Amino acid sequence: MKTYAIARNQQIGPIHVTAGGIVNVTTTAPGYVTLEFTSDPLNAVQNGVAKWVKWPERTVTSAFADMAAESGYLRATARSGAATMSVNNCPSPEEVKVYQREFVGRARADNRPLGNTAVIIGDSNSYQNFAQAYIASASRSNGIVTVTFTSPASIPFGIGMPVQVVGLPEDMRGNQVVTSATSTTITYDNAGPDVASAPLYGTPSVANMACYMDNGWFVWANVLSNQRFDLMGISAAVGRTTSEMLDRVDEVANINASYAFVMGGTNDATGGATPESIQAKLQAIYERLLASGKKIVYAMTILPLGAGNGAWSAPKTATILKVNDWIKQYCRNTPGMQCIDAFAEIVDPTAANKGQAAAGLISSVDGLHLTQRGAHKLGKRITADTATLPSNDFRTTSNADNYGTNAANRNVQDSAPWSVGGDASRGDAGSVIGTGFTGFKINSPTNCLFSAPARADGFGVDNKADITAAAAGDGARFQGSSLAAQRITDGATVQLDVSVSVTGNGSGKFKSLNHLLSMSVNGSAWSIQAMGNFGNTGADCVQEDWTGVLRTPAVRMPIAPAAGSITRTDCTLLGAGSMSFTAGRGQILVTPA
C-alpha cells in the first residue's frame, strides 16, 4: 500500500465496527500501524487516496504501542471479501472516526512532504488568516448539522468546500465539508443524536479553509517570502486562551510538519491571568510541539493592546511585557525554539500610553486584532526571521510547463503570461495585455492603462495596470481564459499562485489585491482565494510598495467544476489617486486524486 505522511485530517464521519475480523495489522515504521480490512464499505481507500481511522483510545492495547506517535491515527487499506469492516481487539461495538487523508504537494522517497511544512496554534489573530462567518445557532437532525450565521458570509461557502468549525460541542466541531449552503447557512454531515439547539461556546464561528485573508499575519509572511511555508494545519479560535490552546495542542502536534508557530496570551492577559499561569501553559505547549518532532517552534511574543474599545491598560501591558520577556529567555535557552518578537513590530515605542500599539496596526474598533497593515508589518518580521530556511519556490519556469503543451503537466494555466497580445479593449487607449488574459476596469477609475512589460527575471511578461482612481473601490482586474472542464477532475487538489507587485503606494492608496479561481461546483458558486479583503480602510491598509507571491490554500475538489472556471487578479484603491500593480508568472496546479 502506498501511503504518505499526514498532511491534513478531514473527518468523514463516525462509523461503528464490530469485534474481530481484521485481516492484517503490521508496523510499517516507528509510530505507524497499517490496518487491512476484509472489505471497504466506507471507501477506506478512494481513488488511490487513503483515509485514516481514529482508534478509540480506551480500546488501544499493547498490540498498538507503536502507534503512539500518531496519537491514535491508523493507516487504513482494504481487501475484497466480507461485507463488514471490523477492527481487531475491539471488545464491543465502538465508534471509530474515519478521516480523509489529503496529500498536499509532492512526496520524497521517505513519503514526507517537500517544502517547509508548518502548523499554527493560536487565538483569533491566527484564526483570521482564513475567512470567517460567526455562528448564531446550530442544530443536528438525522446526522446533518445546520449552522446559521449572524450575518451573510462575506465570502460565499460552496457545496463540498472544506471548513473548520469552532465553538460547538466536541462532536459537532472540527474540520467539516459543506453539503449545502446559502448566504446565511451551511449544512454538513455529522453523525450523532438530534440536537434542536446546540450550546455555543466562546465566539463560535466557521472558517472557510479555501480562502486566505489579507489581515492574516501568516498569509503576509508567505506572500512576502515567496511562499516559504506550506501550511499543513491550524488550531485557533476567537477568544481562545493558552489553557484552551493547550487542550487542543495535539491537533497540530500530531500533524507531520517541520515547523510550528505559536501565538497566544492576549486573551489571558486581558482576562486578568497572572504572568506565571500564562508562562506555564505556553511552556507546556512548546514542550509538546518539540516532543512531536518539530524542527523549530516559533514562539511569538504577545501583541501590544490598542486604544480601541479601551483595550489598553497599564496592568494588562505589564503582564504582557513580563510574559514576553520570559518567552525571549525561554527561546534563548531552549534548543529548537526561536522567538519572533511580534510585540516589537506592532508597538508604538513612544506612546503616551506606554506599550500601546502603533496607530493603524491594531484594530481601532476592538484594540486587539491585527489590521491589514499590522499583519503586513508582522509578515515582514517573520520573513526576515526565517530567511535562513531553504527556498520553497515552485513557480512555473517556461512555456513548456503547462497542460496545453503536455496533458500530463499539473499546471492547467497555459499562459503565465508568456507574451504580449491579449484583449485589453476594456482599458484606456493604447492598452495591451499578456496573451491568455483580458484586462477589465473595476468600477469607474478615471484612467486605467494596461501594459505587458517583460519580467525582470525573464519568465515571460507581467500584466500591468496603471490606475487613476476616482473613488474608493476603483481598480483593475486581470482575468485568465476559461478552463476546459477536463483540466480539473473529481477529487483533484487545486492550488494557484501568481507573482505580484504594488508601486506608487507611498501615501497609502492601496486597499486590496487578491488572486482567485472562480468556479461552479455542484451547482454552487466556488472560489479559492489567496488574499480576500477583510475590509480595512484608511490608515489600517498597507502604506508602502511591496512585492510578493500570492498563493491560495490547496483545496480538494469534491467533483470537477463546470467548464468555464476563470482566474482573476483584482486590485482596488482606497479612494482618488494613482497607483500601479503587476501580476505574472502565474499557474494553477492540479494534483489528481
111-137 pLDDT tens trace: 334 579 999 999 999 999 999 999 999
- Contact between residue 152 and residue 181 where contact means Cβ atoms under 8 Å apart: no
Q: Which three cell numbers stand for residue 324?
A: 514576553
Q: How confident is the model at residue 273 (pLDDT cuts 50, 70, 90)?
A: very high
Q: How confident is the model at residue 484 (pLDDT cuts 50, 70, 90)?
A: confident
Among 54-68, 149-163, 397-411, 446-460, which stretch is predicted with the lowest mean pLDDT?
54-68
Per-residue confidence (pLDDT) for residue 393, from 0 to 100: 84
Chain mean position to CA 66: 31
Q: How confident is the model at residue 426 (pLDDT cuts 50, 70, 90)?
A: confident
pLDDT over threshold 80, residue 246: yes
Cβ neighbours, 10 Å, residue 16: 11
The overall average pLDDT reported for the chain is: 84
Per-residue confidence (pLDDT) for residue 522, from 0 to 100: 86
More confident residue, 97 or 473: 473
Average pLDDT over residues 387-395: 88
Per-residue confidence (pLDDT) for residue 23, from 0 to 100: 37
Angle at 473 between CA 470 and CA 475, to 5 degrees: 75
Q: Cα–Cα distance between 53 and 59 in angstroms, integer?
A: 13
SS3 assignment for 542-555: CCCCEEEEEECCCE
Q: How confident is the model at residue 330 (pLDDT cuts 50, 70, 90)?
A: very high
Report the chain's C-alpha Rg in angstroms. 24
Single pTM value for the model:
0.83
User: Which residue type does 559 have?
Assistant: I
pLDDT over threshold 50, residue 494: yes
Q: Which three cell numbers stand for residue 379?
A: 509578515
At residue 567, φ and ψ (nearest 5 deg) are -95, 150
Q: Cα–Cα distance between 321 and 301 in angstroms, integer?
A: 9
Q: Cα–Cα distance between 448 and 452 in angstroms, integer?
A: 13
Q: Which three cell numbers stand for residue 8?
A: 491534513
Same fold, 106-128+215-393 and 131-211: no
Q: Which three cell numbers stand for residue 580?
A: 500601479
Q: Cα–Cα distance between 425 and 404 in angstroms, integer?
A: 25
Angle at 515 between CA 502 and CA 403, to 5 degrees: 120
- DSSP, collapsed to helix, strand or coil, labels residue 143 as coil
Per-residue confidence (pLDDT) for residue 93, from 0 to 100: 34
Among 196-200, 271-275, 557-561, 575-579, which stretch is predicted with the lowest mean pLDDT?
557-561
Reference 500, options 486, 484, 514; nearest CA is 514
Per-residue confidence (pLDDT) for residue 30, from 0 to 100: 35
Q: Give the total residue count for the chain.
A: 593
Reference 173, options 197, 150, 201; nearest CA is 201
- DSSP, collapsed to helix, strand or coil, labels residue 389 as coil
Average pLDDT over residues 338-356: 98
Among 206-210, 305-309, 571-575, which stretch is predicted with the lowest mean pLDDT?
305-309
Q: Which three cell numbers stand for residue 43?
A: 471507501
Per-residue confidence (pLDDT) for residue 394, from 0 to 100: 86
Quick check: bond before 417 cis, omega within 30?
Answer: yes
Among 20-24, 172-176, 428-432, 544-548, which stretch is predicted with the lowest mean pLDDT?
20-24
Parse the chain into domains and list their residue ranges.
9-103, 106-128+215-393, 131-211, 437-591
pLDDT over threshold 60, residue 368: yes
In angstroms, the first-to-last Cα distance of the chain is 16
Reference 331, options 361, 368, 375, 289; nearest CA is 289
Among 51-60, 277-286, 494-503, which stretch is predicted with the lowest mean pLDDT?
51-60
CATH of the domain spanning 131-211: 2.40.30.20
Q: Cα–Cα distance between 314 and 309 in angstroms, integer?
A: 15
- Contact between residue 9 and residue 52 where contact means Cβ atoms under 8 Å apart: yes
Cβ neighbours, 10 Å, residue 191: 16
- Percentage of the chain surpassing pLDDT 70? 81
Determine whether 353 is exposed, middle or buried from the number of CB atoms within 10 Å of its CB (0-12, 13-18, 19+): middle
Reference 74, options 107, 26, 113; nearest CA is 26
Q: Which three cell numbers stand for residue 554?
A: 490547496
Q: How confident is the model at residue 258 (pLDDT cuts 50, 70, 90)?
A: very high
Among 26-40, 91-105, 441-455, which stretch is predicted with the lowest mean pLDDT?
91-105
Q: Cα–Cα distance between 253 and 265 in angstroms, integer?
A: 19
Per-residue confidence (pLDDT) for residue 105, from 0 to 100: 29
What residues contact 122, with CB distance under 8 A and at least 6 apart?
235, 236, 240, 245, 261, 262, 263, 264
- Contact between residue 423 and residue 450 where contact means Cβ atoms under 8 Å apart: no
Per-residue confidence (pLDDT) for residue 533, from 0 to 100: 95
Per-residue confidence (pLDDT) for residue 262, from 0 to 100: 99
More confident residue, 307 or 78: 307
Quick check: bond before 453 cis, omega within 30?
Answer: no
User: Which residue type does 577 have?
Assistant: G
pLDDT over threshold 90, residue 295: yes
Percent of residues in the chain assigned helix, strand, coil, to nearest 5: 20, 40, 45
Per-residue confidence (pLDDT) for residue 114, from 0 to 100: 53
- Contact between residue 257 and residue 119 where contact means Cβ atoms under 8 Å apart: yes
Under CATH, which architecture does the 437-591 domain have?
Sandwich (2.60)
Angle at 118 between CA 585 and CA 239, to 5 degrees: 110
106-128+215-393: what CATH class?
A: alpha beta
HSE toward the beta carbon, residue 384, CA cutoff 13 A: 11
What residues contact 324, with CB distance under 8 A and at least 6 apart?
301, 302, 341, 343
